[in-house]
Amino acid sequence: MQRRLSTWLLLAPAGLWFAVMLVLPLCFVLVFSFGQREAAGGYVPAFTFEQYANLPARWTAFRNTLTLAPLGTILSLLIAYPLAYFLAMRADPKWRTMLLILVIVPFWTSILIRSYAWIFILGGQGLPALVDWLGFGSIRLINTPFAVLTGIVYGYLPLMVLPVYVSLERLDKRLLEASADLGAPPLQSFLQITLPLSLPGVATGCMLVFILLMGEFLIPAMLGGGKVFFIGNALVDLFLQSRNWAFGAAVAVTLVAIMLVTVTLYMSLMRRLGGAREDVSLM
C-alpha cells in the first residue's frame, strides 16, 4: 500500500505534465481537425472530413518530409557510425573525452546562428563562387534539397553519434578477441559481433533523429528558402499566416499518425533483428 502510494507520488509530476501539455493539446487538435475555417480565419466547430479530403493540397510538404527525413536519418547514420566507431574503438582514451566534447560543441550555439553560417557557405558568395572560380561552371546550392540535407546532417549528427558511441563503448572488447581467436578476420568480426551488438545504439539514434526531423521546420525554412519545405513549415504557415486552424489541425494529426505507424513498424523490426534480447534495450 505504502509502496503504491509512493509510486503514484513519483509519477504524479510527469503524469500531470504529460496530461496537460501533451494529451490535452492533442485532443484539441484532433477536435479542430474535424472543424471548419471561419471566413476571417480561425475555427468554427463542425464535424466534417473536409479538411482531411483537402490534404493533397499540401502534398509537396508531405513528400519532402517523407523523403528528406528518412534520407537525412540514413545519411547521419552513415557519417555518425564511423565517427562513433573511431571514438569508441580507436581513439586514444586520453583524448576520447576531448573529442566527444568537440562533437557536442556545435550545440553550444543556437541552430539559428549555425544555419545562417550555412546560408553564407552554400549561398552565391560561398561554395558555388569557389567552384566557379576553379572553373567547374556555376552551380546552385542554397534553396535546394541538397542544402536542406546538408543542414539536417550537420545539425543532427551529434544526436546520432552519442547513442552509437555509447553502445560501441559498452561493447566488451574481449568478444572481439574471442572472435579473432575463433578465426574471424577483422571485417567478419565487425559484421558478426560489433555491428549486431551496436544495433541498439543505432536504433536509438535513428529514432531520435527521425522523430525530430519529421517535425523540423527551421532548417528547411532557412536553407530551403521556401522552395524545399517540410510539414513543419506548412503548419507554421497554416496556423500563423493563413490562420486555417482546422486544416492545420488535420495536417498535424496526419503527421502524428504517420509517425506512430513508422515508429511502431521500426521498433518491431529492430526487436526482430535483435532477437528476443533481455539485456539490451531498444530505445
Residues that bind other proteins (CB under 8 A): 172, 174-175, 177-186, 188, 192-193, 196-197, 274-280
CB-wise, 27 or 178, nearer to other proteins? 178
CA dist 239 and 90 (Å) reads: 49
CA distances to 37, 41, 108, 207 from 244, in Å:
6, 6, 36, 31
Residue 172 Cβ, how far from other proteins at the closest point, in Å? 7
Q: Which amino acid type is present at position 89?
A: M
Residue length, the chain? 283
CB-wise, 191 or 283, nearer to other proteins? 191
CB-wise, 3 or 174, nearer to other proteins? 174
Q: Give the residues across from 36 on adjacent strands.
A: 44
Residue 279 Cβ, how far from other proteins at the closest point, in Å? 6
CB-wise, 92 or 278, nearer to other proteins? 278
Residue 192 Cβ, how far from other proteins at the closest point, in Å? 8
CA dist 90 and 253 (Å) reads: 45
CB-wise, 121 or 184, nearer to other proteins? 184
Residue 92 Cβ, how far from other proteins at the closest point, in Å? 15
Residue 182 Cβ, how far from other proteins at the closest point, in Å? 4
Q: Which amino acid type is present at position 53?
A: A
Query: Which residues contact residue 73 at a Cβ distance below 8 angstroms, ignoring those fewer than 6 apart?
Result: 160, 206, 209, 210, 213
Query: Helices 145-170 and 111-122, interaxial angle, to 10°?
Result: 130
DSSP string, 113-154: HHHHHHHHHHSTTSHHHHHHHTTS-----TTSHHHHHHHHHH
- The phi, psi pair for 37, rounded to 5°, reads -90, 135
Residue 177 Cβ, how far from other proteins at the closest point, in Å? 6
CB-wise, 94 or 174, nearer to other proteins? 174
